[in-house]
Amino acid sequence: MGKKKATQMIFFVIFMIWASFIGANEATSLKYKNPRLPVNARVKDLLSQMTLDEKIGQMVQIERQVASADVMKNYFIGSVLSGGGSVPSPKASAEAWVNMVNEFQNGALSTRLGIPMIYGIDAVHGHNNVYNATIFPHNVGLGVTRDPELIKRIGAATALEVRATGIPYAFAPCIAVCRDPRWGRCYESYSEDHRIVQMMTEIIPGLQGDVPANQAGFPYVNGKTKVAGCAKHFVGDGGTHNGINENNTVIPLEGLLDIHMPAYLDSIRKGVATVMVSYSSWNGVKMHANHNLVTGFLKKKLKFRGFVISDWEGIDRITFPPHANYSYSVQAGVKAGIDMVMVPMNFNEFIDDLKQQVNNNIIPMKRIDDAVRRILRVKFIMGLFENPLADLTLVNQLGNQKHRDLAREAVRKSLVLLKNGKSASKPLLPLPKKAPKILVAGSHADNLGNQCGGWTIEWQGATGNDLTRVGTTILTAVKSTVDPKTQVVFNENPDPNFVKSGGFSYAIVVVGEPPYAETKGDSMNLTIPEPGPSTIKNVCGSVKCVVVIISGRPVVIQPYLKTMDALVAAWLPGTEGQGVTDLLFGDYGFTGKLARTWFKSVDQLPMNVGDKHYDPLFPFGFGLTTNSTKGY
């Protein structure tokens, strides 16, 4: 070899060493950063450059409490979440949320390939973790409306409020078909009838944007005023034995496909970006370990192309006790087809275990690549690479009057009038606004936390009135609706003598369930806790009364029905209590029809419309109407 050639060779070798060193810290190709390229080309280019550590990092979702810019950078973390009630600080402003999300994002962007992280949160009835957000009725009430256009508007408003805080991903909608009201999450379900749940998937285009006709079935998120959605919990979460949360759904495949699966087909057709797996089991097989349904059915048969996310410690609960054999959990969950794991705390253990199982060929790289490809696809589609950092342009969307008016409309359409007037007497509703003196009573009459229910500010909800600056209790709404000359007396739990001697024209009694979420809401007796029943008896025994039930589901009411002149199911209406008085005083008419069967006794459960033995107190589809005094 001549001298010249040798010199060239030396320079080439030096260059290659330099390039490989640089390569260790720089992307070797920047094609993936070009927004004009097709998403699949960008995914392919990026995936081809990723190390195993970078790939595994994308599959990890951690809770914000264990996140930091350094953690994001050093572990290549792909996602962060707020668990229920996990906030930057109590009553944090939208700006504080934006700053927190951007801090984590800057950590992610400082990695070699600069892959943006995606921040997720449970915005399940408005942006419910956030102080001053508009809190919409829970799904149990929204199903009553049977109004997909309304639900789509709620999705759009929710997306704006979530983006106001810098967050691009909501773990919503829950499309459970609750088949037993003893289930603590029944209020997260739109109905016992899958057709109503299917109708309500219209919230997905509200949250994400309308998927273009030529892209139906593909994940779709239309930019900075929309958020990625999450159809949950796949599949059969609402059909567990006796409504026991996270338990076993025992049903033949035909029944699973008839009742619990249809809304997933609608969600995928509408472009849902992610699907969350259920804690529950199907015929004894944990859904988080169910390859046949997660990969075989959801991904292969339904051709779902977004990413599948686990529930909180969902893979840990594959075993009993949870976390008893974590390597098995990691293997079973990832091989079942879970793409992103909501770890959410012990991310070191998860990363090390998964890496070891890939290096030992227990989990194939093909599976890792499928998971990362799906995650990157969603991130590219939603424009996260082009707009990774949030700004403050939407902060005024949080809790704005337009959204509150929308929530008030939703409350009106979600109420169901179950009784109006005793047999011989004339209907009690609508109530006269002019009366000398009226009584408002009950534990839920002046309690914003009770009327919002679980998943509000705190995971389990927060009774009382200190959970948001704005919002209207039913008592406040009554006072602002009646004639100024009408004296409104409030007594939370009056004794019979107080009622008898009060000279009241009529009474409004508002009672129900305390806030709860998930397993804490499981109930085998479905009774209204005291002093609710006593308040009904003490008041309705002495004066004409309308009882308003605030609950996440049908509850035991038959024993008290006779004493009531009128009965309204208000479910969990959220912050806009004025929607209740709009109907009580006739500004609007009652239109709601039950989306759930109202049982006589819990011994009848489970009992759903269409069952052979069907003997309800109030049947599915029941609801009395009244005319609006304003002609609406």
* Residue (43 or 287) nearer to ligand GLC, CB: 287
| 217 touches ligand GLC (CB under 6 A) | no
Contact 178, 192 (CB under 8 A): yes
- Identify the residue among 147, 180, 266, 311 touching ligand GLC (CB under 6 A): 311
- Identify the residue among 97, 171, 190, 385 touching ligand GLC (CB under 6 A): 171
* Residue (42 or 185) nearer to ligand GLC, CB: 185
Between the two ends of the chain, the Cα-to-Cα distance in Å is 95
Minimum separation from the CB atom of position 171 to ligand GLC (A): 4
| 122 touches ligand GLC (CB under 6 A) | yes
Consecutive H or E run containing 450? helix 448-452
Given the residues 311, 446, 458, 565, select the one marked as catalytic: 311
3-state secondary structure of 39: helix
- Burial class from Cβ neighbours inside 10 Å (0-12, 13-18, 19+) for residue 37 reads middle
Minimum separation from the CB atom of position 172 to ligand GLC (A): 8
Q: Which amino acid is at 583?
A: L
Count of residues engaged in binding ligand GLC, rule: CB under 6 A: 7
Our CA angle for 512, 85, 572, nearest 5°, is 25
Minimum separation from the CB atom of position 78 to ligand GLC (A): 16
* Residue (339 or 576) nearer to ligand GLC, CB: 339
Residues 6+ apart with CB under 8 A from 290: 282, 336
Query: What's phi and psi for 583, nearest 5 deg?
Result: -90, -40
Q: Is 518 a catalytic residue?
A: yes
Contact 452, 579 (CB under 8 A): no
* Residue (236 or 577) nearer to ligand GLC, CB: 236
3-state secondary structure of 9: helix
Contact 163, 223 (CB under 8 A): no
Minimum separation from the CB atom of position 315 to ligand GLC (A): 13
Spatial separation of the C-alpha atoms in residues 166 and 189, rounded to whole Å: 27
Minimum separation from the CB atom of position 94 to ligand GLC (A): 20
3-state secondary structure of 439: strand
Minimum separation from the CB atom of position 469 to ligand GLC (A): 24
* Residue (121 or 330) nearer to ligand GLC, CB: 121
- Burial class from Cβ neighbours inside 10 Å (0-12, 13-18, 19+) for residue 623 reads middle
Minimum separation from the CB atom of position 162 to ligand GLC (A): 14
- Identify the residue among 232, 270, 373, 433 touching ligand GLC (CB under 6 A): 232
Minimum separation from the CB atom of position 518 to ligand GLC (A): 6
| 84 touches ligand GLC (CB under 6 A) | yes
| 312 touches ligand GLC (CB under 6 A) | yes
Minimum separation from the CB atom of position 378 to ligand GLC (A): 17
Given the residues 518, 522, 576, 582, select the one marked as catalytic: 518
| 155 touches ligand GLC (CB under 6 A) | no
* Residue (147 or 311) nearer to ligand GLC, CB: 311
Q: Which of 562, 619, 609, 577 is nearest to 415 (CA)?
A: 577
CA 530 to chain centre: 29
CA 328 to chain centre: 29
* Residue (42 or 260) nearer to ligand GLC, CB: 260
Q: Which of 422, 402, 386, 342 is nearest to 122 (CA)?
A: 342
Contact 167, 228 (CB under 8 A): no
Q: Which of residues 47-66 bind ligand GLC (CB under 6 A)?
A: none
Query: With the C-alpha atoms ordered 405, 408, 414, 415, is the resulting torsion angle positive or negative?
Result: negative
* Residue (126 or 579) nearer to ligand GLC, CB: 126
String of DSSP letters for 54-117: HHHHHTEEEEGGG--HHHHHHHT--EEEEPTT--SSTT--HHHHHHHHHHHHHHHHTSSS-PPP
| 97 touches ligand GLC (CB under 6 A) | no
| 83 touches ligand GLC (CB under 6 A) | yes
Q: Is 530 a catalytic residue?
A: no
* Residue (311 or 409) nearer to ligand GLC, CB: 311
The Cβ of residue 602 has, within 10 Å, a number of other Cβ atoms equal to 18
Site residues (CB under 6 A) for ligand GLC?
83-84, 122, 171, 232, 311-312
Residues noted as catalytic: 311, 518
